[in-house]
Amino acid sequence: MGAYLNENRCSFAYWNAVAAAVEMAHKKGVKVIAWIDPTEGHAGNHTRWALRHPEFTLQRRDGRREDGYYADPIISLAYPEVVEFRLAMLREVLSFGVHGVFLVATADMVGYEPPTSESFIAKHGIDPRDVADDDPRRIEHQAEFLTAYGQNS
């Protein structure tokens, strides 16, 4: 942790908790598996990027966006920009020398945003808001976005 210390105190201007943890674990012979949860806002820990890009937030069936106004923002994997942002975060964590990654994926990472709704209509000829959330076509369509993200990870 020497690179992160300033006069025997941690300097939070330069200290990276992940890098420091991996460095210490390696010194002790411990393997580190990173847990990456790409959902936003657990206990208010959303990213500045998500707050700056409300146009990429998840859209609910009723058209409401999860943009951080009433609750923590949820950015959608329906947008290539979000996928690239998440992959950049993953690459950064991997650059610290972790031994593996546990990547969390939930159905709440894709909603009714224009890319998902438009592609669903093109494929099935019906608006996804007109089918039940548990309709197999809807579930399969959401899964396609999550699968594409996972395959790029």
Q: State pLDDT tens for residues 36-60.
A: 876 665 545 567 788 888 899 889 9
Strands (E), 54-106: 100-103
Query: Which pLDDT score, from 0 to 100, does residue 46 have?
Result: 63
Q: Do 10 and 51 have their domain in common?
A: no
pLDDT band at 18 (very low <50, low <70, confident <90, very high): confident
Q: Do 57 and 1 have their domain in common?
A: no
Q: Do 54 and 8 have their domain in common?
A: no
pLDDT tops 90 at residue 1: no
Task: Provide CB contacts within 8 A for 49, sequence distance 6+.
Answer: 75, 85
Q: Do 99 and 67 have their domain in common?
A: yes
The count of domains in the chain is 2
Q: Do 64 and 139 have their domain in common?
A: yes
Task: Provide CB contacts within 8 A for 77, sequence distance 6+.
Answer: 38, 83, 86, 109, 110, 145, 146, 148, 149
Q: Do 91 and 119 have their domain in common?
A: yes
Please give the torsion angle defined by the CA atoms of residues 72, 102, 119 and 116, in that order, rounded to the nearest 10 degrees: -10
Quote the domain boundaries for residue 91.
Answer: 31-152
Q: Which of 9-13, 29-33, 64-68 is the most confident on average?
A: 29-33
Which has more pLDDT, 115 or 10?
115
Q: Do 44 and 11 have their domain in common?
A: no
SS3 26: helix
Q: Do 25 and 65 have their domain in common?
A: no
pLDDT band at 90 (very low <50, low <70, confident <90, very high): confident
Q: Do 87 and 16 have their domain in common?
A: no
Position 92: which residue type?
E
CA distance 129 to 64: 13
pLDDT tops 90 at residue 137: yes
Burial of 142 (0-12, 13-18, 19+ CB in 10 A): buried
Bridge partners (DSSP) listed for residue 9: 6
pTM of the model: 0.79
Q: State pLDDT tens for residues 108-133.
A: 789 999 999 999 999 999 999 999 98
Q: Do 72 and 107 have their domain in common?
A: yes
Q: Do 89 and 21 have their domain in common?
A: no
Bridge partners (DSSP) listed for residue 35: 102
What six digits make up the tokens of 126? 């019906």
Q: Do 17 and 35 have their domain in common?
A: no
Question: What value does the mean pLDDT take over residues 60-66?
Answer: 88
